[in-house]
Amino acid sequence: MAQIMLGKEVNASLNERIRAKAEELKAKGVFPTLGIIRVGQRGDDISYEKGAMKRCATLGVEVKQFLLPADVSQETLMETIQQVNQDKGIHGVLMFRPLPDHLDEEAACAALDPEKDMDGITSGSMAGVFVGHEKGFPPCTPEACMEILDHYGVDCQGKRAVVIGRSLVVGKPAAMMLLQKNATVTICHTKTQDMAAICREADILVVAAGQPDMVTKEFLRPGQVVIDVGINVDAEGKLCGDVDFAQAEPVVAAITPVPGGVGTVTTSVLVGHVVEAAARQEGR
Amino acid sequence: MAQIMLGKEVNASLNERIRAKAEELKAKGVFPTLGIIRVGQRGDDISYEKGAMKRCATLGVEVKQFLLPADVSQETLMETIQQVNQDKGIHGVLMFRPLPDHLDEEAACAALDPEKDMDGITSGSMAGVFVGHEKGFPPCTPEACMEILDHYGVDCQGKRAVVIGRSLVVGKPAAMMLLQKNATVTICHTKTQDMAAICREADILVVAAGQPDMVTKEFLRPGQVVIDVGINVDAEGKLCGDVDFAQAEPVVAAITPVPGGVGTVTTSVLVGHVVEAAARQEGR
């Protein structure tokens, strides 16, 4: 019987801190505002956007949407990015990715003001994550994983942490953040051999493989803390993670559910970044 | 009886490629030039500088030295950096670090033109290493480790690589570069528990701990490839690495000596970066 690490429990205290900080800013006449740039109508984007807007409303953060057609030109996209960069009323920006194939995503990310980059997509933010300093903002998802570990009092120091996945959005930054917490970190990926044995060595396992139910009981042992970053749709159309929850839950010490785990916290981390960005920009 | 992976053997082919490319540029009237910024008279810096200048001379690369007193002001240092940034006759810059305590090293690194950053000290270069793309230049020392692995035909894909050390100069970038070569990478450091057992799991072990003879036979098993990045002076005043060579050599499959291993290759990698930078800048 594992402890189920619930996103809503993590959010309870996290959201309290964010709301208090937003109130403080508003008392000074600063209204923390998130700009959302979305190209096209991808279901994933719209669903995330809905959640983010709801969370913003709850926590007292305003939203300005910039909705562009799926066939938007690079030029128009770049103009939109310049517009949000220059708008002092927008403190942070979320730009949905991947962008449609005809667009130059690298150029778009590079154009965004690093101080308004809420999700670690500019090279300045990525260097910050790599170096381990507090400038800029890391991507929201791996930071949500760290918030969960912190909330449940998981001490990483000297522990073996294994990350499955090496994306720039989750795997690599999660590895750097665990290293920052003094864990001994191993990064696994599609080319890893005997991944189950390596995962069994982990005290803390962060799974961002993007493969439904990939982590089965062979990957697990008693005492582990498992963070499941995956969000997949199973054969029956239900949301599931990268970890086979039914197999994992009887074995490990603690696990995040899907849905109701990392994803829930990610949205709060995003809103927290906007409030923090507003505070930093206000100080100038 | 391990294979001794000698820096000079790696350099033989590496230097040939660098020299040929330098010749090609000179035929076009471009003379690849390294700018060296050194503050004070640290023995380590001077010794590295000597080696670098000798290698530059051998490979047909020119050097301009900017030698500043140990008590130089931040202002003068920043002016010097601006000067090398603006000088079109200087293609790459090596700035020795650490800078004396009274100087703001972060500001100095940030001021350097990323395109002239030969040793991965700007945030643009660091983001490049983190992302794994070919822009900018990674730090010379971890790249030298990769050159050694490549030269000796060590295939990293699916292998377990363990890096001891998490510095920005060696450990973290080495880990990212091994990941790029599809190894399963573990990063160990001073807070790691039971490091010897973790190192025994490695197929490839990169040691950048900065502790003389720290890696003893308990860390090793037959079949391993060991890259020793350490350069220390032992009790008798002789150079030694982080690996106890006498204990390691009978056990492992291949090992780099100190001196004559990684350090030798690092200098060539630096000069190679200058030539490559000259080629890139010439194309504009």
Cross-chain residue pair A131–B129, CB shorter than 8 Å: no
- Cα A40 to Cα A72: distance, rounded to the nearest angstrom: 8
Determine, for residues A189 and B192 on separate chains, whether the beta-carbon distance falls below 8 Å.
Answer: no
Residue in A127, A160, A187 closest to B130 by CB: A127
What integer is the mean pLDDT of B76-103? 97
- Asked if A187's CB is within 8 angstroms of B188's CB, the reply is no
Q: Could A193 and B131 be called an inter-chain contact, meaning their C-beta atoms sit closer than 8 Å?
A: no
Nearest to A193 among B158, B185, B186 (CB): B158
Is there a contact between A189 and B166 if contact means CB atoms under 8 Å apart? Answer: no
Question: Which residues of B are less than 8 Å from A175 in CB distance?
Answer: 187
Residue B25 Cα, gap to closest chain A Cα (Å): 30
Residue of A nearest to B135 (CA): A123
Q: How far apart are CA B66 and CA B68, in angstroms?
A: 6
In B, minimum Cα distance to A192 occurs at B158
Strand duo A184-188 + B184-188: pairing: antiparallel
pLDDT tens digits, B114-124: 999 999 999 89
CB within 8 Å of chain B, chain A residues 137-176 = 157-160, 166, 168, 172, 175-176
Query: What domains can you pick out in chain A, each with its CATH number?
Result: 29-113 (3.40.50.10860), 140-263 (3.40.50.720)
Give the pLDDT of residue A87: 97
Q: How confident is the model at residue B213 (pLDDT cuts 50, 70, 90)?
A: very high
The overall average pLDDT reported for chain B is 96
In the DSSP assignment, the letter for residue B181 is: T
The closest CB to that of B191, out of A123, A157, A172, belongs to: A157
From chain B, the residues in CB contact with A188 under 8 A are 184
pLDDT at residue number B172: 98
- What pLDDT, on a 0 to 100 scale, did the predictor assign at position B282? 86
Give the closest residue to B115 by CA, choosing from B96, B92, B94: B92
pLDDT for residue A284: 66
Please compute the mean of the pLDDT values over residues B15-39 and round it to a whole number: 97
Q: Is A136 left (phi over 0), alpha (psi -120 to 50) or beta?
A: left
Among A129, A192, A203, A205, which would you mutate to test the B interface (most chain B Cβ atoms within 10 Å of its Cβ)? Answer: A192
Please give, rounded to a whole number of angstroms, the shortest distance from the CA of A181 to a CA of chain B: 10
Mean pLDDT of B27-42: 97
Provide CB contacts within 8 A for A2, sequence distance 6+.
Answer: A226, A248, A249, A250, A251, A252, A253, A254, A255
Tell me: the pLDDT tens digits for B152-197?
999 999 999 999 999 999 999 999 999 999 999 999 999 999 999 9
Report the DSSP beta bridge partners of residue B34: B63, B92
Strands B33-39 and A239-240: unpaired
Q: Is B188 helix (H, G, I), strand (E, B) or coil?
A: strand
Query: Chain B contact for A186, CB < 8 A?
Result: yes
By the CB < 8 Å criterion, does B185 face chain A? yes
* B187: chain A residues, CB-CB within 8 Å: 175, 179, 184-186
* B171-175, Cβ contacts within 8 angstroms, sequence gap of 24 or more: B171/B208, B172/A130, B172/A176, B172/A179, B172/B129, B173/B120, B173/B126, B173/B129, B173/B138, B173/B139, B173/B142, B174/B141, B174/B142, B174/B145, B174/B146, B174/B206, B174/B208, B174/B229, B175/A187
DSSP state of B117: B
Residue B39 has pLDDT above 90, yes or no: yes
3-state secondary structure B190-256: CCCCCHHHHHHCCCEEEECCCCCCCECHHHCCCCCEEEECCCEECCCCCEECCECHHHHCCCCCEEC
- Chain B contact set for A126 (CB, 8 A): 127, 130-131
Cα dihedral across residues A227, A233, A238, A244: positive or negative: negative
Checking if the pLDDT of A187 tops 90, the result is yes
Report the percentage of chain A scoring pLDDT > 70: 100
pLDDT in tens, A245-280: 999 999 999 999 999 999 999 999 999 999 999 999
Residue A84 · residue A66 · CB < 8 Å: yes
Q: Would you call A130 an interface residue with chain B, using a CB distance cutoff of 8 Å?
A: yes
8 Å CB contact of A184 and B184: no
Q: Is the pLDDT of residue B129 over 90?
A: yes
**Is residue A92's pLDDT more than 80?**
yes
Closest approach of B135 to chain A, Cα-based (Å): 11
ipTM: 0.94
**Cβ-Cβ contacts under 8 Å, B191 against chain A:** 157-158, 182, 184
Q: How far apart are CA A244 and CA A261, in angstroms?
A: 14
Task: Give the end-to-end CA distance of chain B in Å, rounded to a whole number.
Answer: 51
Q: Which residues of B touch A159 (CB under 8 A)?
A: 193
Closest CA to A161 of A187, A129, A131: A187
Predicted pLDDT of residue A70:
97
Residue of chain A whose alpha carbon sits nearest to that of B169: A131
Q: Which of B180, B141, B178 is nearest to B266 (CA)?
A: B141
Instruction: Report pLDDT for A1.
Output: 83
pLDDT for residue B283: 72
Q: Which of B126, B130, B186 sits opposite A185 (nearest CB)?
A: B186
A128 contacts B168? CB cut-off 8 A: no
Tell me, yes or no, if B70 comes closer than 8 A to chain A by beta carbon: no
Task: Please list every residue in chain B whose beta carbon sits closer than 8 Å to the beta carbon of residue A128.
Answer: 123
Rounded to the nearest angstrom, the minimum Cα separation between A132 and chain B is: 10
Q: B119-145: string of b/e by CB count within 10 Å (b at 16+)?
A: bbbbbbbbbbbbbeeeebbbbbbbbbb
Q: How far apart are CA B20 and CA B60, in angstroms?
A: 9
HEC profile for chain A?
CCEECCHHHHHHHHHHHHHHHHHHHHHCCCCCEEEEEEECCCHHHHHHHHHHHHHHHHHCCEEEEEEECCCCCHHHHHHHHHHHHHCCCCCEEEECCCCCCCCCHHHHHHHCCHHHECCCCCHHHHHHHHHCCCCCCCCHHHHHHHHHHHHCCCCCCCCEEEEECCCCCCHHHHHHHHHHCCCEEEEECCCCCCHHHHHHCCCEEEECCCCCCCECHHHCCCCCEEEECCCEECCCCCEECCECHHHHCCCCCEECCCCCCHHHHHHHHHHHHHHHHHHHHHCC
- What local confidence, expressed as pLDDT, does residue B135 receive? 80
Give the residue-averaged pLDDT of A43-65. Answer: 96
Q: Which of A262, A252, A189 lies closest to A219 in space, CA to CA?
A: A252
Residues 6+ apart with CB under 8 A from A190: none
The angle at the Cα of A150, spanning A148 to A153, to the nearest 5 degrees, equals 110
| Exposure class string for A160-176: b at 16+ Cβ within 10 A, else e | bbbbbbbbbbbbbbbbb
Would an 8 Å CB–CB cutoff place B81 in contact with chain A? no
Beta-carbon count within 10 A of A157 CB: 11
- Is B130:B179 a contact under the CB 8 Å cutoff? no
User: Which residues lie closer than 8 Å to A197 by C-beta, 6 or more apart?
Assistant: none
| pLDDT at residue B133 is higher than 90 | no
**Host H or E run for residue B161:** strand B160-164
Calculate the average pLDDT of chain A.
96
pLDDT tens string A5-24: 999 999 999 999 999 999 99
pTM: 0.96
CB-CB under 8 Å, B131 with A127: no
Provide the Cα torsion A74, B115, B133, A76; round to 10°: -10
The CA radius of gyration of chain A, in Å to the nearest whole number, is: 19
| Residue numbers in B near A166 (CB within 8 A) | 179
**pLDDT tens for each residue of A124-149:** 999 999 999 878 899 999 999 999 99
Confidence (pLDDT) at B239:
93
The band of A83, judged by pLDDT with boundaries at 50, 70 and 90, is very high
In whole angstroms, what is the distance from residue B103 CA to residue B97 CA? 11
B61 touches chain A (CB under 8 A): no
> Within an 8 Å CB–CB cutoff, is residue A123 touching chain B?
yes
